[in-house]
Amino acid sequence: MTGTPDDRLRTPDPSRAAGILLHPTSLPGPFGIGDLGPAAERFLDWAQAGGQSLWQVLPLGPSGAGNSPYTSTSAFAGNPLLISPERLIEENLLGRDALWHAPGFPPGRVDYASVKAWKEPLLRDAWQGFRRAAPAELRDALAAFLSAPAQAPWLADWARFAALKARFGERPWTDWGPDLAFRDPDTLAAADEELSDEIAFHGFVQFLFFRQWAHVRELARARGILLVGDIPIYAAHDSADVWANQELFELDGTGRPTAVAGVPPDYFSATGQLWGNPLYRWDLLEEKGYAWWIARIRSSLAACDLLRIDHFRAFSAYWSVPAVDRTALGGRWVPGPGRRLFDAAREALGALPILAEDLGDIDDDVRELLAALGFPGMKILQFGFYGADSDYLPHRHTPNCVVYTGTHDNDTARGWYAALKPEERERVWDYLGCDGREVEWALIRAAYGSVAERAIVPLQDVLGLGSEARMNTPSEPAGNWCWRAPADAWRPELAERLRRMAELSGRSSPRPAEASTRER
């Protein structure tokens, strides 16, 4: 055996990785919301310096009700608000003076209404700039994007849906009149002709989003960082997906849901969570070979390296609530598609690099499904201190899982700790060997030391922030999804602390200089 003991501790284990959970909207920057421009590249530089090899994001679609990425108006489209104005200037789609008069957005929080009011005209200016003077190379790239097989299942319907939403003052599709709501072919053809310019604009916006996202992915790969995407299991009712595929959902003759999704009472709510999404007609999806779901997984995996599926337990059985109910208490469990969906997806797509969000009311059927599929589940350290010998504590972990200090639905580590009961705090002290100071770093150390192959930490915990930095509080309809990292988030000393901890636990990626040497 060669090398010093310290050298051996620093040797990365290829089966182990560390990462950061950070949605792009939370990146710092001057334009009211994080985007796919220079701030994303600075984050990737910092993450690489910190020995990180995973960047987990939330769903990237256009945000819907409550600005939630989990109620997107499309399961396939990208969020226009994430498009970087600076990258548009670099491609000569906007003049260099376009950003001089950007409003003074509030620091540290996303004001979605203000950002949309400013950015949408900017994107329309970019569209006009493209039409006037785009070089042939960019025009060819747009044409290739619009005609690519990967876009065919969704792009035309999304662009049409977005144009019609604007025409009808953002009202839901069930209020567009029966001919449009139920997609009468002659009426759709007339709308396509009338709204052709608007439809073309929305196709162009999607081109911009995916072009910029592909650039971010290239930057990540060059730094040895894999992107972890996220898809909600359910589609929003007021979405292009439900409007264009009504037969696949439990809807009545008016297009409204007959039963909706949710979960029974849980850690977050005594009356359960009533999400309101229409439920799938799994029988019809199976008849069609799960084509819509396979297209969705294919599209998501084209944009990321691994894919987290939210609320995985619903593939085993899902909580069905009558649409007229005001809480989730009156729901019932209904069998889901089980492994049949994933067997069909594997046959169509090959290996599925999927992470399963297996939190909540989990029974043996869910565990058996997860084991049969071989997908890693999630272990949330915050959940481990409410009882004796919890499965969420590191000594109960298995290699095939992903450990988190917390997720976007949890309070930050500091906020969580501040709200604990005395006996729970004592359990934290005893288990983590800390006195409560820097409890977030004690949790990070415990996560990194776990046998779990992947450890992912919300950026808020690395920064040591309290409840003011919480991303989402389930069952609360307002005030979520707004947090943004401070401008000084990418401090070298934090990156070095992460790297040292990753090195000691066999999770570190090569240092930037080492990576450059190897590439040469």
Could you read off the pLDDT of 454-509 as tens digits, one per residue?
Answer: 999 999 999 999 999 999 998 788 899 999 999 999 999 999 999 999 999 999 98
**Catalytic residue check, 125:** no
Give the count of domains, the chain. 1
**Catalytic residue check, 7:** no
pTM of the model: 0.94
Residue written as tokens 């972890």? 228
Distance CA 370, CA 431 (A): 29
Question: How many CB atoms lie under 10 A from the CB of residue 505?
Answer: 21
Phi/psi for 458 (5° steps) reads: -60, 140
Report the percent of the chain where pLDDT is more than 70: 95
- The one catalytic residue among 250, 310, 325, 343: 310
- The one catalytic residue among 357, 440, 453, 503: 357
- The one catalytic residue among 35, 409, 411, 461: 409
Distance CA 123, CA 17 (A): 38
CATH of the domain at 217: 3.20.20.80
**308 has which bridge partners?**
230, 355
Taking alpha carbons only, the member of 49, 1, 12, 20 closest to residue 512 is 49
Give, in order, the Cα–Cα distances in Å from 319 to each of 67, 328, 330: 24, 8, 10
pLDDT tens by residue, 235-288 = 999 999 999 999 999 999 999 999 999 999 877 678 888 999 999 999 999 999
Residue written as tokens 């701030």? 39
pLDDT at 5 over 80: no
Residue written as tokens 């095939």? 400
> Do the beta carbons of residue 262 and residue 321 sit within 8 Å?
yes
Q: Using H for helix, E for strand and C for coil, what is the string for 293-327?
A: HHHHHHHHHHHCCEEEECCHHHHCEEEEEECCCCC
Domain containing residue 350: 5-519
**pLDDT-derived band of residue 514, with 50, 70 and 90 as boundaries?**
low
What pLDDT does 232 receive? 95
Question: How many CB atoms lie under 10 A from the CB of residue 99?
Answer: 15
**Catalytic residue check, 310:** yes
pLDDT tens by residue, 166-223 = 999 999 999 999 999 999 999 999 999 999 999 999 999 999 999 999 999 999 999 9
Report the percent of the chain where pLDDT is more than 90: 87
Taking alpha carbons only, the member of 310, 301, 150 closest to residue 226 is 301
pLDDT at 436 over 90: no
Phi/psi for 404 (5° steps) reads: -125, 145
SS3 437: coil
Taking each helix axis from N to C end, the angle separating 422-432 and 439-449, rounded to the nearest 10 degrees, works out to 50
Distance CA 64, CA 29 (A): 23
